[in-house]
Amino acid sequence: MMLQLVRRPYRLTKEFERAHIQLTRTWWTPLLEYQQARSFEQFALHIRAVNRSIKTAVIVGFAAAYIHGIPTLNKEKCLVVCLNLPGDRHPPSSRQCTEIMHYRDAALPESDITEVSGKRVTTIERTFVDFCVMYDELESLAFVEAAMRNGNSHEQFQEYLHEHAGQRGVAKAQRILDRAYDIIDSVQETGMRYQMEAQFPTHKISPQVMIGNYRVDHLMDDYIIVELDGRVKYTEEFAWENGTTVTEIFRKQVSRERYLLSLGYHVLRFYPDELDDLLIPTIRRILAQNPHRISPNEHYDPHSDGPPPWTSRWAS
Selection from 138, 129, 140 nearest residue 104 by Cα: 129
pTM of the model: 0.90
Look at residues 122, 140, 142 and name the one whose alpha carbon lies nearest to residue 132.
140
Q: CB burial class (10 A; 0-12, 13-18, 19+) of residue 295?
A: middle
Nearest Cα neighbor of 57 from 79, 99, 87 is 87
* Residue 54: other Cβ atoms inside 10 A: 16
Residue type, position 77, single letter = K
Give yes or no for a contact between 192 and 172, defined as CB atoms under 8 angstroms apart.
no
Sequential pLDDT tens for the chain (316 residues): 689 999 999 999 999 999 999 999 999 999 999 999 999 999 999 999 999 999 999 999 999 999 999 999 999 999 999 999 999 999 988 777 889 999 999 999 999 999 999 999 999 999 999 999 999 999 999 999 999 999 999 999 999 999 999 999 999 999 999 999 999 999 999 999 999 999 999 999 999 999 999 999 999 999 999 999 875 555 666 557 677 777 787 788 888 899 999 999 999 999 999 999 999 999 999 999 987 888 999 898 887 745 544 444 443 3
- Residue partners of 211: CB distance under 8 A and separation at least 6: 219, 225, 260, 263, 265, 298, 299, 300
**Residue 219 to residue 311: CA distance in whole angstroms:** 20
Domain boundaries, the chain: 6-178, 187-290
Q: What is the CATH number of domain 187-290?
A: 3.40.960.10
